[in-house]
Amino acid sequence: MSRAMDPHAAWPVPAGIQGELVPLESCTGLAAEWTALECEADCSPFSSWQWVSTWLEHLPAEVRPLLFRARDAHGVVALALVVDCEEKGNARWFGRRSWYLQETGDPVLDEITVEYAGLLARPGTLEGAYRALFEALDGLPRDWRRLHIGTSAQGAAIAAALPAGLEASSVQARPCHQVDLDAVRRAPGGYLELLGRSTRGTLRQTLRAYEALGPLRVDTAREPARALEWFDAFEALHTASWQSRGRDGCFASPFFARFHRALIARTAASGFAQLGRVTAGEAIVGYLYSLCWQGRLYFYNAGLNYGLLQRHDRPGVAALHTAVQQAADDGLHVFDFLAGDQDYKRRLATGNVVLHSIDVRREGVRTAAEHLAKGLIHRTAPATPLAHALTTTSQPRAARD
């Protein structure tokens, strides 16, 4: 078989980095390889072995990811999991399949929502590793439609690594609001001092209303059994809130619940998956589900007790303020609200970065026809070329009041 048709072939890339795509079942020792690399990398919890191994263990048997591995003279520099998804419906006119990086293309399975997606890579190697990935994909049969990388902070490396014949588009740009916890600790007046004037006023009203019931505090379940008990309570509150608005919440996906219960059971004791219960005296304000990784706390989801107060009933604001202050007291560096431009995230943040959902396609008539058809059929604006999108969203922005 020629290299051009061999998905397991190694591909020479500038800077001495070579890439390969290999079946996962052939990757003995992957856990040790992955955890060694994540110790060198500045990565998100969604790229950690805790998250990735739980995902792999709970995927249906028919979903069979390939491992992308890139090496240089010193060893492994990058790892990722990619899934081949067969296209259905009209999308088949533009290619038989799509590749997804650490997603499946099935919305039920992808309800767990990976953010900060991309390669797990040794510092200084990201651009070269993406070149190796694109070379490896170019060696596969040419019936694939796109490579999709969801909600990523690696857009600059992806754009720089694109070879001739491939184009990358930002199909969605989303702010990721954050709180600088080092600044919280430095501020004489604490967290409140860093927020806008109207937010401070509203928040003080809310905090006083809840504190009339007793002091606000957040407790974290460190024992897996207690964490799973609180996860059940979180599910009940979360689902009730969504159903009151006539919509299904994330627990409508059975995979979501299975995955997170397994993740909590295996990592709550280490502090990776954190169930926090926020109380005002004896009253439960809500449950916050977060991931703690590399000095950052990533707020993932919440189950909130609406209706506890007659006035200033804002359990989310009260719970998150309490959690941010506790994270600062615990010595963490960033509280990350994850992607989304909801009003509460903007108001409670001290700044943000922008993440991009990215599609990489082959240039040519077929891709141009797909862009045109999408605009005509769905009346949607065309995706923005990635390089252009990055120039308009590359600078972190201060939070707005």
Distances in Å between the alpha carbon of 243 and those of 1, 127, 340?
A: 55, 44, 21
Highest mean pLDDT among 55-69, 138-152, 367-381: 55-69
Give the pLDDT confidence score for residue 373 in this predicted structure.
44
Question: What is residue 378's predicted lDDT score, i.e. its pLDDT?
Answer: 47
Dihedral angle of Cα 214, 296, 79, 389, to the nearest 10 degrees: 100
φ, ψ of residue 23 in degrees (nearest 5): -60, 140
**Range 149-173 average pLDDT:** 96
Q: Output the DSSP codes for 349-391.
A: -SEEEEEEEEEEEE-SHHHHHHHHHHHHHH-PPPPEEHHHHHH
pLDDT at 152 over 80: yes
Give yes or no for residue 6 having a pLDDT over 60. no
Q: What is the mean pLDDT of residues 123-152?
A: 93
pTM as predicted? 0.91
- 366: its two tokens: 């077929």
CA–CA dist 306, 35 (Å, integer): 41
pLDDT one-digit tens code per residue, 346-371: 999 999 999 999 999 988 535 444 54
Characterize the bridge pairing of strands 11-13 and 17-23. antiparallel
In the predicted model, is pLDDT for residue 397 greater than 90? no
pLDDT of residue 142: 79
